[in-house]
Amino acid sequence: MVPVPEVVPGGLFGGVFTRGGAVADDAAWLRAMLAAEAGLARALERAGLAPAGAGAAVTEAALGPVDGFDIAELSMSSEMTGNPVPGLARALTRLVGSPAGKAAVHQGATSQDIMDTGAMLLARDALDAVLVDIAAAADAAARLAGTHRATLMIGRTLLQQAVPTTFGAVSAGWLTGLDSAHEGLAFVRGSRLAVQFGGAAGTLASLGDAGARVKTLLAEELKLADPPLPWHTDRLRIVDVAFAMARTCAVLSKIARDVTLLTQTEVGEVKSNPVAAVAILGCAKQAPGLLATLTAAAEQEHQRAAGAWHAEWQPYSQLLQLTVSASAWARDMLGNLQVDTAKMAANLASAGGTPLAERVSALLGPALGGPQAHDLVTTATARAAASGIPLRDVLLAAPEIADKLSQAGITPGQVEQALDPAGYLGASSAFIDAALAAHQPG
């Protein structure tokens, strides 16, 4: 039998999907749930519901190495209880050294309190990682926009050559998307991560009148928001985290797709680590389905859900992890992107001026009338495309076209000026300025 290699973080595909660190694997979930249990013990002690020293005793046991907790054992226990928290609480109780501490473990909580609070802690770590990498990627895009504001390239619509643009304008488009994603992530990080503590049915009945105070103290201990009431079946916090992550993946997917197209052998306008763009797409394309599952699971009945809550765990974990990975790849991709300005110029020149046909039509329109100008330029453009002769030469060499230009008083110099791509960039420079002015460097 072939020996099984040692298990590595992220598994066989971790090199692609856990770049930036494993933020939602079994170990991360364990640490987050144990942090919630430890915070609860400290809150109970502060509220006078646990003896002095109980919080410290639980915290010492909970925040030590996770090696003391057997994943396989917790998995087996979840077969009986429907989730791993009861088994985790029993294992934690065994590790706590003092009787006072043992009594404080999980007091007043239900399993969902610990898992939902852990999910918020996981989100905080993931959001922090994504925010750093998105800021770095945005800074890289800003540098590209500023450096290449005048670097001419062919614009492309429907995958066909269109009017010219600049690589600075393209990069500015990437920048505004990244900045918008960062804004959404920061909003969720700052306002939507809240502690969950409601007990069996959201009333904290087992803690009597002290329940609300313990909830507030738990929020303080974990540095999470203190919501007005438990949100066991109000899943918008989960959906908001998921939406911010999926939205970020959408931005990164667009940029990565652009890069893959620009790095094609036949195009060759930029050079990049091809794995980075492909890995971003591999991560990002999973996000819509995961978001859809989490949105569907948000319909949860009465005070505690039967199954929909369980349906969240895996897609939530996967979406956090994939977004962290995609963001780390994007930082690398944009930070190391090389621009081939000569190839951009060559590709633009190879179009033979046909992308500027609409500008020539605008030049001829006042003299010939719109319909006639359009027909003339359309004929010339078709001839240029079929023959490989530049549009300028077709316009100035064909007698029937040259005669009409002469009759309209249009000189060869005006035609050449109309076919200069540098003069047909519209408001692109102003748009670049606006994007750079709106960007707050990370």
Q: Are 225 and 297 in contact (CB under 8 A)?
A: no
Identify the bridge partners of residue 270 per DSSP, sorted by sequence position: 339
pLDDT beyond 70 at 243: yes
For the chain, what is the mean pLDDT? 94
Any residues with CB less than 8 A from the CB of 73 and at least 6 apart, and which?
87, 91
User: In the chain, what percentage of residues exceed pLDDT 90?
Assistant: 78
What are the pLDDT digits (tens) for 125-136?
999 999 999 999
Specify the higher pLDDT residue, 400 or 150: 150
Q: Where are the beta strands (DSSP E) in 292-365?
A: 338-339
Q: What is the pTM of this model?
A: 0.93
Helix (H, G, I), strand (E, B) or coil at 161: strand
Nearest one of 267, 253, 318, 291 to 156, comparing CA atoms: 267
Q: Is the pLDDT of residue 2 over 50?
A: no
Residue 264 phi, psi (nearest 5) = -55, 145
Predicted confidence at residue 385, as pLDDT, reads: 87
| pLDDT score of 90 more than 90 | yes
pLDDT of the residue at 4: 47
| Of the candidates 257, 251, 240, the residue with the CA atom closest to the CA atom of residue 188 | 240
Asked if residue 5 has pLDDT above 80, the reply is no
Question: Which residue(s) pair with 164 in the sheet?
Answer: 154
Q: How far apart are CA 234 and CA 212, in angstroms?
A: 18
User: From CA 310, how far away is CA 302, in angstroms rounded?
Assistant: 15
Q: Chain-centre distance of CA 399, in angstroms?
A: 56
pLDDT at position 6: 56
Q: Is 1 exposed, middle or buried (0-12, 13-18, 19+ CB in 10 A)?
A: exposed
Q: Is the pLDDT of residue 66 over 80?
A: no
Count of other CB atoms within 10 angstroms of residue 185: 24
Picking from 100, 43, 33, 36, the residue whose alpha carbon sits closest to that of residue 69 is 33
Whether residue 394 is predicted with pLDDT greater than 90 in this model: the reply is no
Query: Which has the higher per-residue pLDDT, 376 or 32?
Result: 32
Measured N-to-C along each axis, helices 370-387 and 399-407 cross at an angle, to the nearest 10 degrees, of 150
Rounded (10°) CA dihedral 286, 292, 294, 295? 160
Domains and CATH numbers, the chain: 17-109+197-227 (1.10.275.10), 115-193+231-346 (1.20.200.10), 354-418 (1.10.40)
pLDDT of residue 406: 81
Single-letter residue type at 137:
A
How confident is the model over 247-275, as pLDDT tens digits?
999 999 999 999 999 999 999 999 998 99
pLDDT at 8: 64
- How does pLDDT run across 152-201, given as a tens digit for each residue? 999 999 999 999 999 999 999 999 999 999 999 999 999 999 999 999 99
pLDDT above 70: residue 228: yes
